């Protein structure tokens, strides 16, 4: 019901116009009051409802993104509740466990995924590994695949707010690599420990533990600084060892060696040598430690010092005898030098006397041994009018033993290359020959290829050798031939090798080298490295093979500041000329 309008006691005396205006004013006030009391609160409630819906939509979108992220991970992830039932599981984990999403969700984790060989659940023993809330647990398992292949996986678990998260990462390649490394170092007479870039001990041999009177297995997975703290008490002067270790921590690229007197497990003298390990990109990936018992040598040294006084008395009596012995030593040294000169001539005779003249190509090479004989070797063998076999090898070690291995490798390659075999089969046959002939720790890296001179097609294999570099004229870019054709030649008799192909187009250049050049150091112990070498190759390849090799050598010499290379250097380059 409308409220009567009251204009005061004299409203009857007002004119109709004024009365009408006052009536409209009262109606307007009632309308404004209605909006304040009814419409505005209604609008506010609607706005609050819309804001709530917006927040709900955002939360749903965020949850969707989280779920997609959960599904797309490249590692296995499983969520289980307090009753040990699967709440979430991504496709990567389902693939590892060999089950379906519908067969996993809601089921006890112990019943998800069956071991294909034993028939037992993969998580049947999970209770043994789990830790209470706030603590993480880790373990590894070998899981056979349906095709019979064995894969290794690393598991991590943590309980957070009533939900347990289990992550799964594959570590098969890492475990296989560690197995090979352990086999190599296990037979060493020195104590050896391999440390990764995170300063974690990845592998030790039995000799390492025996030298310190400890079980070598306890070192695996230990931080090396913890091991150093443990081992320092085995030294007569613990601070000397810690100072030695501290210097290496300050300079990760340092090669270091020192003699220490031991008090545990018994009195002895140990020589400790350590050097960094770098990958093919010259990045630091770890460090190797060698420990050698030199007690007998030090004892001999002490005896020599004790006898010095007696020798002084007998000097006059033995002068003639020493003179004769000195003459004999001179004669032996001269004979040795003559034999080394002869070995040098023989080895240089194995290298190509002249580089092949190939129509449409420019060939250049360089050879710089650190001594009279070398472990490097390269060769070119003409197969027919259209094809040529190219080879670059590098034997581990230096001196006469390495040179003898190169001679055996040369004869083996000559025999198999001329038999019309593929690059992969040639390498396989040479590996068998070397394994049968070499009883030392010497082995070879190699790059071998067959180049078709008409088409430029190069079929090649890289065996643990530094990446050959191909300059592409059309794009003014460098390409690294990174394929790995197999393991070191002469190491394992059952090695097999694979090959790959590329094409040298007009204007392209291939640059093949041994690691003596990129692993050179200057007087600041800085590494020359691949990046500097790549820059020289890219800059001078348009000028030809000879100029590129010459500039690479000069750039390395400028960088080294006169410091002699620690390893032999061999290079060859082949450029396909552009049509006139």
pLDDT by residue (tens digit) across 128-165?
888 887 788 888 888 777 667 788 888 888 888 778 88
Whether the predicted pLDDT of 393 surpasses 90 = yes
> How many domains does the chain fold into?
5
pTM, full prediction: 0.45
Residue 87 located in a structural domain: yes
Q: Distance (Å, rounded) from C-alpha 393 to C-alpha 430?
A: 12
Whether the predicted pLDDT of 123 surpasses 80 = yes
Q: Name the nearest CA neighbour of 514 among 380, 369, 401.
A: 369
Q: What is the mean pLDDT of the chain?
A: 83
285 with 268: CB under 8 angstroms? no
pLDDT of residue 214: 84
Q: Name the nearest CA neighbour of 280 among 468, 506, 136, 1.
A: 468
* 34 confidence band (pLDDT: 50, 70, 90): low
pLDDT top residue among 117 and 375: 375
128: domain CATH number? 3.30.450.20
Quote the domain boundaries for residue 398.
Answer: 351-576
In degrees and rounded to multiples of 5, residue 465 shows phi and psi of -95, 155
* 572 confidence band (pLDDT: 50, 70, 90): very high
Share of the chain above pLDDT 70, in %: 82
| DSSP-based helix, strand, coil % in the chain, nearest 5 | 40, 25, 30
Longest dimension (CA), the chain: 160
Whether the predicted pLDDT of 182 surpasses 70 = no
Same domain as 355, residue 339:
no
Whether the predicted pLDDT of 116 surpasses 80 = no
Which of 42, 71, 100 finishes a domain?
Answer: 71
- Average pLDDT, integer, range 414-439: 91
Classify the C-alpha dihedral 525-526-530-535 as positive or negative: negative
- Average pLDDT, integer, range 245-252: 90
Whether the predicted pLDDT of 7 surpasses 70 = no
pLDDT of residue 3: 47
CA 166 from chain centre, in angstroms, equals: 27
Same domain as 272, residue 410:
no
- Average pLDDT, integer, range 176-190: 73
Same domain as 232, residue 184:
yes
Share of the chain above pLDDT 90, in %: 34
- Average pLDDT, integer, range 208-234: 87
Which of 71, 87, 122 finishes a domain?
Answer: 71
Q: Which of 43-47, 354-358, 545-549 has the highest mean pLDDT?
A: 545-549
Which of 4-13, 288-297, 489-498, 568-577 is predicted least confidently?
A: 4-13
In DSSP terms, 193 is beta-bridged to 204, 289
Same domain as 518, residue 474:
yes
DSSP-based three-state secondary structure for 377: strand
Same domain as 88, residue 67:
no
pLDDT of residue 531: 95
Residue 2 located in a structural domain: no
Which of 129-133, 364-368, 431-435, 489-493 is predicted least confidently?
A: 129-133
pLDDT of residue 340: 58
Same domain as 135, residue 82:
yes
208 with 216: CB under 8 angstroms? yes
Residue 387 located in a structural domain: yes
Which of 199-213, 422-436, 490-504 is predicted least confidently?
A: 199-213
pLDDT top residue among 294 and 302: 294
Q: Distance (Å, rounded) from C-alpha 549 to C-alpha 455?
A: 25
Q: Distance (Å, rounded) from C-alpha 390 to C-alpha 444?
A: 16
pLDDT top residue among 319 and 248: 248
Same domain as 221, residue 154:
no
Same domain as 444, residue 327:
no
Residue 33 host element (H or E) = helix 16-34
Torsion of CA 504, 508, 514, 517, to 10 degrees: -170
* 534 confidence band (pLDDT: 50, 70, 90): very high
Q: β-strands 201-204, 256-262: how paired?
A: unpaired
Whether the predicted pLDDT of 223 surpasses 60 = yes
Residue 83 located in a structural domain: yes
pLDDT of residue 5: 46
- DSSP secondary structure code for residue 488 in this structure: P
pLDDT of residue 326: 77
To 10 degrees, what angle do helices 529-540 and 545-560 make? 140
pLDDT of residue 42: 65
Q: Distance (Å, rounded) from C-alpha 289 to C-alpha 195?
A: 8
pLDDT top residue among 341 and 174: 174
For residue 552, give both structure tokens: 């690479």
Same domain as 407, residue 355:
yes
Residue 380 host element (H or E) = strand 376-382
Which of 112, 135, 170 finishes a domain?
Answer: 170
Residue 146 located in a structural domain: yes
Q: Distance (Å, rounded) from C-alpha 25 to C-alpha 36?
A: 17
pLDDT top residue among 280 and 355: 355
For residue 33, give both structure tokens: 């009051």
For residue 333, give both structure tokens: 């040294």
Q: For 145-180, give the DSSP string.
A: -TTS-EEEEEEEEEEETTEEEEEEEE-HHHHHHHHH
287 with 322: CB under 8 angstroms? no
* 221 confidence band (pLDDT: 50, 70, 90): confident
Same domain as 451, residue 437:
yes
Q: How many residues does the chain have?
A: 580
DSSP-based three-state secondary structure for 390: strand
* Cβ neighbours for 393, distance < 8 A, ≥ 6 positions apart: 376, 377, 378, 406, 409, 444, 445, 446, 447, 465, 489
For residue 457, give both structure tokens: 């097609």
Q: For 517-543, give the DSSP string.
A: TTT-B-TT--B-HHHHHHHHHHHHGGG
461 with 485: CB under 8 angstroms? yes
Other C-beta atoms lying within 10 Å of the C-beta of residue 348: 14
258 with 274: CB under 8 angstroms? no
pLDDT top residue among 182 and 474: 474
Calculate the alpha carbon distances from 416 to 376, 435, 461, 463 in Å.
20, 15, 15, 17
Residue 156 located in a structural domain: yes
Q: Distance (Å, rounded) from C-alpha 105 to C-alpha 86?
A: 5
Q: Distance (Å, rounded) from C-alpha 183 to C-alpha 161?
A: 45
pLDDT by residue (tens digit) across 343-382?
555 656 577 888 999 999 999 999 888 876 778 889 999 9
Q: Name the nearest CA neighbour of 398 among 579, 566, 185.
A: 566
Angle value at C-alpha 579, between 574 and 580, nearest 5 degrees: 120
pLDDT top residue among 335 and 125: 125
Same domain as 508, residue 540:
yes
Residue 256 host element (H or E) = strand 256-262
Same domain as 362, residue 329:
no
Residue 55 located in a structural domain: yes
pLDDT of residue 440: 77
Residue 453 located in a structural domain: yes
Q: Distance (Å, rounded) from C-alpha 205 to C-alpha 188?
A: 8
């Amino acid at each position: 019901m409308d409220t009567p309008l009251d204009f005061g006691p004299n409203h009857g005396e007002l004119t109709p116009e004024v009365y009408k205006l006052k009536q409209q004013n009262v109606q307007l006030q009632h309308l404004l009051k209605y909006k304040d009391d009814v419409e505005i609160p209604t609008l506010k409630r609607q706005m609050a409802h819309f804001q709530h819906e917006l927040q709900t939509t955002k939360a749903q979108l965020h949850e969707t993104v989280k779920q997609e992220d959960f599904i797309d991970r490249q590692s296995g992830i499983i969520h289980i509740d307090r009753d040990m039932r699967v709440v979430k599981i991504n496709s990567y984990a389902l693939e590892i466990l060999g089950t379906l999403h519908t067969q996993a969700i809601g089921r006890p984790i112990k019943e998800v995924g069956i071991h294909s060989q034993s028939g037992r659940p993969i998580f049947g023993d999970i209770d043994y590994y789990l830790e209470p809330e706030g603590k993480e647990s880790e373990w590894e398992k070998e899981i056979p695949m349906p095709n019979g292949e064995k894969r290794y996986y690393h598991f991590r678990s943590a309980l957070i707010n009533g939900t347990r998260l289990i992550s799964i990462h594959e570590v098969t390649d890492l475990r296989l690599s560690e197995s090979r490394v352990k086999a190599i170092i296990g037979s060493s007479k020195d104590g050896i420990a391999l440390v990764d870039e995170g300063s974690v001990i990845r592998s030790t041999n039995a000799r390492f533990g025996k030298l310190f009177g400890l079980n070598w297995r306890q070192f695996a997975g230990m931080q090396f600084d913890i091991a150093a703290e443990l081992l320092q008490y085995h030294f007569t002067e613990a601070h000397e060892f810690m100072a030695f270790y501290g210097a290496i921590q300050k300079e990760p690229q340092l090669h270091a060696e020192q003699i220490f007197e031991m008090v545990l497990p018994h009195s002895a003298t140990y020589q400790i040598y350590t050097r960094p390990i770098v990958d093919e990109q010259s990045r630091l990936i770890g460090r190797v430690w060698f420990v050698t018992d030199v007690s007998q040598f030090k004892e001999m040294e002490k005896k020599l010092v004790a006898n010095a006084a007696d020798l002084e008395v007998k000097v006059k009596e033995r002068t003639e005898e020493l003179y004769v012995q000195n003459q004999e030593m001179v004669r032996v040294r001269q004979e040795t030098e003559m034999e080394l000169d002869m070995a040098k001539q023989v080895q240089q005779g194995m290298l190509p006397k002249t580089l092949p003249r190939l129509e449409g190509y420019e060939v250049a090479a360089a050879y710089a041994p650190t001594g009279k004989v070398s472990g490097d070797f390269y060769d070119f063998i003409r197969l027919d009018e259209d094809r040529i076999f190219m080879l670059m090898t590098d034997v581990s070690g230096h001196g006469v033993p390495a040179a003898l291995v190169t001679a055996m490798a040369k004869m083996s390659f000559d025999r198999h290359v001329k038999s019309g075999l593929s690059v992969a089969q040639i390498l396989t046959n040479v590996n068998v020959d070397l394994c049968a002939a070499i009883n030392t720790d010497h082995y070879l890296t190699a790059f071998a290829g067959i180049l078709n001179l008409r088409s430029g097609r190069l079929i090649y294999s890289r065996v643990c050798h530094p990446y050959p570099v191909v300059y592409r004229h059309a794009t003014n870019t460098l390409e690294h031939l990174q394929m790995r054709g197999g393991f070191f030649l002469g190491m394992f008799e059952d090695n097999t090798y694979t090959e790959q192909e590329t094409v040298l187009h007009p204007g392209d250049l291939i640059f093949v080298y041994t690691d003596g050049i990129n692993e050179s150091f200057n007087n600041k112990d800085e590494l020359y490295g691949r990046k500097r070498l790549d820059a020289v190759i890219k800059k001078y390849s348009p000028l030809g093979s000879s100029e590129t090799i010459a500039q690479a050598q000069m750039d390395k010499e400028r960088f080294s500041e006169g410091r002699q290379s620690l390893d032999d250097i061999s290079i060859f380059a082949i450029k396909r000329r552009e049509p006139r």
